[in-house]
Structure formats: C-alpha cells, structure tokens
C-alpha cells in the first residue's frame, strides 16, 4: 500500500485529496496545523468508508519542532514514504501598500519557506530509498499577477522557480517534482484569509470594487475541488508524471499563454474580467 503525507488537510484541496487517495487505497497521513479542525475531514472519511486508511496528525510547516515531530512519527526509513503533497497555503487580500509586513511574511512563510523546510527533512529518506514524489500545490496565479493579491502571487512564482531549479538536483535519486496549478475552485482559502480593506486607503475605490467582483467571479466560474483531488491522485499514480499540471479551463488557458503574451496584454485581459474600467477613483 503506497503511503503519502499531505499538509493542510482540514479543508479545501487537502481534505478532498485525502479522501480521494484513501478511496484509491493509499495509506494517508493527513496533517493540519490545528487538529481541533479535524471534524470535517473525519466526517468525509467516514461517509466514504475509508477512515481506517487515514491517520490524522498535527503539522505546522512554519514550526521546525512541529516538522521534526511529524517526520519522526513517520518512522522513516523503516516505513517508507512514497510521496508528500505540499498543500498547506494561506493568502491575504489587499493592495501592497496597505498590507502589514507580518501579513506578507506569513504568506511567504507558509506557501514558500514551509514547503522548503518540510522537503529538506524528507529528502534523506527519499534519497536513501531512491524514489519519491514531491507534489506542490501551486496556482494559476503562478502564470500572471492578480490585483490586490501580490503576496500570494509572489509566493507561487517563488515556489515554481525553486521547483524548476530543485528538480535538477534530485532527478539522479529518482525523485519527481510535480506542480499542480489549479484555476478557480470553490475552496475555503479566500473565506479564511484576512482582508485588509481600510476605508482611508488611497486605493479604496479599487478594493471596494474588487471584493464583490472577485467573489462573484469565483461563485460563477469556481469548479468542484474534487477535480483537483483526482488530478493529484492521477499524477501520483502515473508512471511518468508531468512536471507542470494546470487544472481547470482558466489555468490551462493561462498555461498556454504563459510567456507568449506581453504583461500589458495580460493586465488588460484581467482588467476586463474584473471590470476594472468601472472603478471610480
């Protein structure tokens, strides 16, 4: 039975991916920063009849002690680990000038440095067994900047650049690096993310317009996150997985146009999508 460690499984892609892999027979170690939030996952596992295939544990990817404890619990190398799915992620809504440094650093700590820290702890085991798959939940935001979302976008650009370079270093050990890049999906990340929308902001007309506009866009075009869970499971089970995997129509479009359209054109496209011409400054 193949074994996988997943981060950020209390909701969203992490939760549905845990259920999907358990249904496919994987031995899943489902981790989350706050294990008090495990109830939703437990209900979904019980409904699918796969509770016995999943062990839930605590893991905060920004805490070295938590990482060490979670990796120790895996009992490596006696119990080999086939893959890790870096799904834990956070965001913050707001224009750059209005954001506190703490907000920006939190996004980078979780979405970028957290991936690096956990990967480094698992690498000795993957190298020793000469196999392993490191799956990173990226985003279509890695293809183009999005308004009032610069820290999240930057974190995804950073993790993809790191992954491209890192892949050279581990291919000799038969370790695959895999990026999953979803488009608009109905998850909890934006509802659970802080939003910085001060009425005194010089950008208030923009952010006042964007908040309902983006929500309406996601509600209209957001897709079932189970599609992403299936995509993750498929690349894990593929004999030769692709490095970059766009999931959903908008992500696939952005993937195809990446590097082919000038940034000014991309901004005009998103300007129309989010009706930025209607902002009254």
Decide if 152 is catalytic. Answer: yes
What is the SS3 assignment for 125-161?
A: HHHHHCCEEEEEECCHHHCCCCCCCHHHHHHHHHHHH
Dihedral through CA 122, CA 123, CA 128, CA 131, nearest 10?
90
Catalytic residue among 112, 152, 185, 203: 152
Which residues touch 121 (CB under 8 Å, ≥6 apart)?
67, 68, 71
What is the SS3 assignment for 148-197?
A: CCHHHHHHHHHHHHHHHHHHHHHHHHCEEEEEEEECCECCCCCCCCCECC
CA angle 121, 104, 14 (to 5 degrees): 50
> What is the residue whose two structure tokens read 């990026």?
179
Task: Please state, in angstroms and rounded to a whole number, the distance separating the CA atoms of residues 179 and 241.
Answer: 10
Burial status of residue 87 (CB atoms within 10 A of its CB: 0-12, 13-18, 19 or more): buried
Task: Please state, in angstroms and rounded to a whole number, the distance separating the CA atoms of residues 92 and 108.
Answer: 11
Beta carbons within 10 angstroms of residue 123's beta carbon: 17
Prior bond of 258 cis (ω within 30°) = no
Tokens describing residue 86: 């870096």
Catalytic residues: 152
């Amino acid at each position: 039975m193949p074994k996988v460690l997943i981060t950020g499984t209390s909701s969203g892609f992490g939760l549905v991916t845990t259920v999907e892999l358990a249904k496919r027979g994987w031995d899943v170690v489902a981790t989350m920063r706050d294990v008090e939030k495990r109830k939703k996952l437990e209900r979904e596992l019980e409904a699918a009849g796969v509770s016995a295939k999943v062990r839930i544990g605590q893991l905060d990817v920004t805490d070295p002690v938590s990482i060490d404890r979670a990796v120790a619990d895996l009992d490596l190398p006696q119990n080999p680990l086939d893959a890790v799915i870096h799904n834990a992620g956070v965001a913050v809504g707001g224009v750059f000038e209005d954001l506190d440094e703490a907000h920006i650093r939190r996004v980078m700590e979780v979405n970028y440095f957290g991936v690096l820290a956990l990967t480094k702890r698992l690498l000795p085991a993957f190298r020793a067994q000469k196999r392993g798959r490191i799956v990173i939940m990226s985003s279509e935001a890695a293809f183009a900047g999005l308004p009032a979302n610069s820290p999240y976008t930057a974190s995804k650009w950073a993790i993809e650049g790191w992954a491209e370079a890192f892949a050279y270093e581990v291919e000799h050990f038969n370790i695959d690096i895999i990026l999953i890049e979803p488009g608009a999906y109905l998850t909890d990340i934006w509802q659970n993310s802080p939003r910085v929308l001060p009425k005194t902001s010089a950008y208030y007309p923009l952010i006042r317009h964007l908040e309902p506009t983006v929500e309406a866009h996601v509600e209209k075009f957001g897709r079932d996150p189970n599609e992403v869970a299936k995509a993750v499971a498929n690349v894990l089970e593929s004999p030769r997985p692709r490095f970059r995997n766009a999931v959903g129509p908008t992500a696939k479009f952005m993937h195809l146009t990446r590097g082919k359209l000038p940034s000014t054109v991309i901004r005009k496209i998103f300007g129309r999508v989010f009706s930025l011409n209607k902002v009254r400054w």
